[in-house]
Amino acid sequence: PGVYLRRLLDVAAFFFLAKFTEKPLRFFGLVGSLSFAAGAVAGAVLLVERLNGQGIANRPLLLLAVLLVALGVQLMGLGLVGEIIVHLRAPHRRAYRVREQV
């Protein structure tokens, strides 16, 4: 069973490297946006509860909402830094496609 798990992790790592090495913002932007959206939804729920007169200061959802929003912003920033690094390290690199196989 351990061999299969390692092979699955190898395939996942290869997929990640092949797909997102050139465009890290696509991965980190997606994960960051999902985290930010989840935090924003949780914050909106808390805002509605606060406007209805309930206290939200001692609720763990408040901390979770703030952490998810902060995590989303940081992940999107990490994706931007990754894009800058990729473009500075290989400014004239182009992605080529095979037109015809012989």
pLDDT single digits (tens) 31-81: 999 999 999 999 999 999 999 999 888 899 999 999 999 999 999 999 999
CB atoms within 10 A of CB 42: 19
State how far the Cα of 51 lies from the Cα of 53, in Å rounded to an integer.
Answer: 5
State how far the Cα of 27 lies from the Cα of 24, in Å rounded to an integer.
Answer: 6
State how far the Cα of 33 lies from the Cα of 16, in Å rounded to an integer.
Answer: 18
Dihedrals phi, psi of 57, to nearest 5 degrees: -65, -35
Is residue 102 predicted with pLDDT exceeding 90? no
Instruction: Please report whether residue 53 resides in a domain.
Output: yes
pTM: 0.75
Q: pLDDT tens, 12-28?
A: 888 888 887 778 888 89
Instruction: Please report whether residue 79 resides in a domain.
Output: yes
| H-helix or E-strand spanning residue 45 | helix 24-51
Instruction: State how many domains the chain has.
Output: 1
* Predicted local distance difference test score (pLDDT) of residue 65: 97
Write out the residue range of the structural domain in which residue 78 sits.
21-89
Instruction: Please report whether residue 60 resides in a domain.
Output: yes
